Amino acid sequence: MGPHCCEADVIAGLEPFVSQELAALGVRHAHVVQPRVIQFSARALRPLLGLHMALSVYLLRRYAVARPKALLGDQHLRALFTQVDAALGLAPHGAYRTFMLGAAGAGSTVMTRLKSAIAQHTGLREAHEEGDLLIRIRPSRGPFPDAQGGEAPQEATASSRSASGWDVLVRLSPKPLATRAWRVCNIPGSLQATVAHAMAWLTRPTPDDVYLNLGCGSGTLLIERAAAGPARRLIGCDTDPHALTCAQANIAAYQAGAKGERHPFELREWDMRCLPLPDASVDAITADLPFGHRVGSHDDNMALYPALLREAARVAKPGARCVFITAEVRLMESALAQTPSPWLRDLTFRVNLGGLRPAIFALRRA
């Protein structure tokens, strides 16, 4: 079979990281077609289920039709069912129980007929929100991502490579890829897992890492570092006993699904401003810092951020990577500008988290 045309939804700001993750899977011709959306060609679908930094991935097919009603025609309906079957075939039997059709005019006669046909073909019942099998229908938006050269995806027929027509997207997983099975406990302010994975990736993980997550909360940054590869130690610290209990529950769930692989997690009730660790003993540090909204306050952060940077610099080895996320961007800029600074800045960029646009600071110990 030829390559498949696919589309990934991503958090705004993470497009370059998802593109690199796709490239590591051998994907070619990946293009950011608009913020938060990447289209690409993939020879195999199953490896895409292992993406850590994408929100969801869809199998995309363009139909050269003027109106969605034409999708009810025998040829197009069979092609749509082929898309659906490709997604269903990636999951264990019974993983899909419901479906949802997302489209403008979802209650129209045409869409009602489409939903009836899908239900009959799959044996799934319709859900009005949060369906396992998610099918989206929309007007086509531009050419396929391989339009600049290369073998065309099997979904891109000669009559449908232009920007006109209608696109049908079928999600490749029963839940968004961003939904982590290990998250059995949540606390307010928990970091979105795809962002946490990008932060862990920015530390350039190695198997010899002593990795320290300051203010670990529910354990997201710890677990995503484990998912990024082996480490010598994975240390999470927090002063909140409830957060540590929550992190322990999530770690236990992650370990249970790790197929026998054990990770060296350590949870400690430590103050990030005064760590019982030797100087120059840590290879990588991450922290989801208090934004001063749900957690902490601006006044608290004015004292916390400089103290945190000093203590992180003390325990970090020369060349250690340190990645922070915060919405208190000006405060972090000010704290980093204090001289003499032991931190070199490799990268700063913003991500969009549902109205908040925090910045991620990727630093390196001088």
The reported pTM is: 0.92
Mean pLDDT of 223-235: 98
Domain ranges of the chain: 4-171, 193-365
Query: Angle CA(235)–CA(223)–CA(187) in degrees, nearest 5?
Result: 95
pLDDT by residue (tens digit) across 58-69? 999 999 999 999
Say if residues 91 and 45 touch (Cβ distance below 8 Å): no
Residue 223 bridge partners (DSSP): none
CA distances for 126 relative to 15, 78, 95, 100, angstroms: 32, 19, 15, 6
Architecture (CATH level 2) of domain 4-171:
2-Layer Sandwich (3.30)
CA-based end-to-end distance of the chain? 51
Residue 42 bridge partners (DSSP): 4
How many whole angstroms separate alpha carbon 359 and alpha carbon 350?
4
Helix (H) or strand (E) holding 126: strand 125-126
Model confidence at 149, in pLDDT bands (50, 70, 90)?
A: very low
How many whole angstroms separate alpha carbon 345 and alpha carbon 322?
9
More confident residue, 188 or 305: 305
Q: What is the pLDDT of residue 147?
A: 39
Question: Which is nearest to 129 in space by CA: 168, 102, 167?
Answer: 102
Kindly tell me if the per-residue pLDDT of 205 is higher than 50: yes
pLDDT by residue (tens digit) across 98-147? 999 999 998 999 999 999 999 999 999 999 889 999 999 999 987 765 53
| Those residues with Cβ within 8 angstroms of residue 353's Cβ, 6 or more apart along the chain or in another chain | 11, 192, 195
Write out the two tokens for 60: 């995309």
pLDDT-wise least confident of 22-31, 135-144, 266-275: 135-144
What CATH superfamily is the domain 193-365?
Vaccinia Virus protein VP39 (3.40.50.150)
Question: Which is nearest to 223 in space by CA: 264, 279, 162?
Answer: 264
